[in-house]
């Protein structure tokens, strides 16, 4: 994508609201339409082409295919479908159909048993229907949002872990998908921490990916699965949300590459591609009074993994625990006293080093390396 302007896309919520608006208009007109202009939550007006537009007696079904732009989104190409039936009940009743998840756990900002249609999309869907009903003989509607194939799409998300069962969530706060913003992933991290807190978890485990999560579960079998959260590159989001939700203790589990970036103060670890600051790692080595020839090797190492190999071969493996300690210091700075422990694992799951933060531990100043 280098050198190319990335294309924005639209959220599942925006597409659902547009489909619902279209179905409402079709019922009022009594005939099919080919496109619909809708207002996104950010107040921008957009025209969507309809894939499906059917009318039979008092029911209309319209659908819009989601275009996620250049964002790597598992719901790109999803067909957001709205089935609308009008009434005079002065309210919009929103239901979830096939492919839309059902909420089975508290802490998500939605009632248990309700369809996983987030508050902003709910408001947008309601407003778009009511906009069409102005001046008509109807005052309310029942709308069913469905997503054919949504259950398969959900397998690529964190929904099941969050207690969102049977499909995808209808999401979006602005209606726009920013390319590579990974806003949906950040939202899922926040929701996962909120769910863990709702279920009484005072200690949560933030991992950098699927492998590190599996290894973390092996290392900490006594902790409820709901407390394990894959934050990916968004360690900063995980830490800040933990503070907001008054989590008492955070344990970070990861491999040397991601942890080295965190030790360098990077809280969004995809920045800089795969590069790791080996000069910083060499400074850590010197602070541990490791021999200068080894420090020089570390400074010109190709990768963080290479640094690990150098330290293994030279017998100065305690650098791993010092890296963990610095990660904890950096993360606790964001929380001004948040208790943060850090574990470093190898590719086979073995524990390479760790820093176990004691009760009341927290750094409030700059970290010295």
CA–CA separation, 248 vs 193, rounded Å?
12
112 in any annotated domain:
yes
Name every residue whose Cβ is closer than 8 Å to that of residue 58 and which is 6 or more positions away in sequence.
Answer: 27, 85, 86
pLDDT in 10s for each residue of the chain, 369 residues: 333 456 888 999 999 999 999 999 999 999 999 999 999 998 999 999 999 999 998 999 999 999 988 776 789 999 999 999 999 999 999 999 999 999 998 767 788 999 999 988 999 999 999 999 999 999 999 999 999 999 999 998 878 877 899 999 998 888 887 665 566 678 888 989 999 999 999 999 999 887 889 899 999 999 999 999 988 888 989 999 999 999 999 999 999 988 999 998 877 655 444 467 899 999 999 999 999 999 999 998 877 888 988 998 888 889 999 999 999 998 887 655 689 999 999 888 899 999 999 887 654 444 333
> What CATH number corresponds to the domain at position 163?
3.30.2110.10
**Does residue 193 share a domain with residue 87?**
no
Q: Are residues 51 and 171 in the same domain?
A: yes
Do the domain assignments include residue 360?
A: no
For 168: left if phi > 0, alpha if psi spans -120 to 50, otherwise beta; the answer is beta
Dihedral of the CA atoms 34, 38, 40, 42 (nearest 10)?
140
Q: Which of 108, 118, 51 is nearest to 82 (CA)?
A: 51
Domain boundary among 135, 156, 177: 177
Contacts of 10 by beta carbon, 8 Å cutoff, 6+ apart: 40, 46, 48, 66, 67, 68, 69, 172, 175, 176, 177
| DSSP 8-state symbol, 115 | B
Place of tokens 């869907």: 125
Query: How many domains is the chain built from?
Result: 2
Does residue 369 fall inside a structural domain? no
φ, ψ of residue 45 in degrees (nearest 5): -95, 135
CB 107 within 8 A of CB 100: no
Verify that 320 and 278 share a domain, yes or no: yes
Please check whether residues 261 and 292 belong to one and the same domain: yes
Q: Are residues 122 and 199 in the same domain?
A: no
Give the C-alpha distances (Å, rounded to integers) separating 263 from 33, 89, 365.
57, 58, 15
Give the integer Cα–Cα distance in Å for 78 and 297.
50
Q: Which tokens is 356 given?
A: 């176990």
Any domain includes 324: yes
Find where tokens 């909420």 sit.
103
Q: Please indicate, yes or no, whether residues 146 and 190 belong to a single structural domain of this protein.
A: no
Is residue 138 located within the same domain as residue 24? Answer: yes
Under DSSP, the state recorded for 78 is -
d(C-alpha 139, C-alpha 142), whole Å: 11
Contact 80, 53 (CB under 8 A): no
Structure tokens at 20: 């619902």
First to last CA, the chain: 36
Do 56 and 157 fall within a single domain?
A: yes
Which H helix or E strand runs over 219?
Answer: helix 210-219
Token pair 């490791």: residue: 290
- Do 17 and 164 fall within a single domain? yes
Compute how many other C-beta atoms are within 10 angstroms of the C-beta atom of residue 272: 12
Domain-embedded: residue 365: no
Residue owning tokens 């079998």: 221
Which residues constitute the domain of residue 208? 184-355
Q: What are phi and psi of 214, to 5 degrees?
A: -60, -45
Do 154 and 61 fall into the same domain?
Answer: yes
Domain assignment present for residue 366? The answer is no
Residue finishing a domain among 150, 177, 204? 177
Whether 272 maps to a domain, the answer reads yes
pLDDT for 271: 45
Q: Which of 343, 266, 272, 345 is nearest to 305 (CA)?
A: 345
Same domain, 154 and 89: yes
Q: Which of 177, 203, 233 corresponds to the end of one domain? A: 177
Rounded distance, CA 280 to CA 264, Å?
7
| CA-wise closest residue to 203 among 214, 216, 185, 212 | 216
Residue 362, domain member (yes or no) = no
Within 44-175, residue ranges assigned H as helices are 119-133, 150-154, 159-162
- Residue 299's Cβ-count burial label (10 Å; 0-12, 13-18, 19+) is middle
Residues 270, 225 share a domain? yes
Strands, E assignment, 66-131: 79-87, 92-96, 99-100, 102-103
């Amino acid at each position: 994508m280098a050198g190319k302007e990335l294309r924005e896309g639209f959220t599942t919520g925006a597409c659902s609201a547009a489909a619902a608006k279209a179905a409402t208009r079709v019922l009022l007109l009594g005939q099919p339409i080919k496109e619909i202009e809708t207002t996104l939550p950010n107040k921008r007006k957009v025209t969507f082409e309809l894939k499906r537009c059917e009318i039979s007696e008092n029911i209309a079904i319209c659908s819009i295919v989601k275009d996620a732009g250049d964002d790597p989104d598992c719901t790109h190409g999803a067909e957001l479908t709205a089935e609308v039936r009008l009434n005079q009940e002065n309210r919009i009743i929103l239901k979830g159909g096939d492919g839309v998840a059902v909420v089975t756990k508290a802490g998500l900002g939605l009632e248990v048993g309700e369809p996983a249609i987030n508050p902003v999309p709910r408001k947008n869907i309601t407003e778009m229907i009511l906009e069409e009903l102005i001046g008509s003989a109807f005052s309310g509607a029942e709308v069913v949002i469905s997503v054919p194939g949504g259950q398969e799409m959900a397998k690529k998300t964190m929904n099941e872990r969050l207690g969102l069962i049977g499909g995808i969530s209808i999401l979006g706060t602005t209606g726009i998908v920013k390319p590579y913003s990974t806003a949906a992933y950040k939202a899922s991290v926040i929701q996962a921490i909120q769910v863990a807190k709702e279920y009484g978890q005072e200690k949560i485990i933030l991992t950098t990916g699927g492998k590190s999560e599996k290894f973390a579960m092996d290392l900490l079998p006594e902790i409820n699965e709901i407390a394990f959260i894959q934050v990916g590159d968004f360690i900063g989001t995980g830490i800040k949300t933990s503070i907001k939700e008054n989590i008492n203790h955070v344990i970070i589990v990861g491999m040397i590459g991601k942890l080295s970036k965190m030790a360098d103060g990077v809280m969004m670890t995809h920045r800089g591609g795969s590069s790791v600051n080996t000069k910083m790692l060499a400074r850590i080595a010197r602070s541990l009074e490791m021999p200068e020839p080894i420090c020089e090797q570390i400074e010109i190492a190709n990768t963080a993994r290479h640094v690990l190999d150098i330290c293994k071969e030279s017998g100065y493996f305690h650098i791993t625990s010092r890296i963990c300690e610095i990660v904890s210091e950096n993360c606790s700075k964001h929380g001004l006293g948040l208790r943060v422990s850090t574990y470093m694992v190898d590719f086979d799951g073995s524990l390479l080093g760790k820093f176990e933060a004691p009760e009341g531990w927290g750094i409030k100043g700059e970290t010295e390396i």
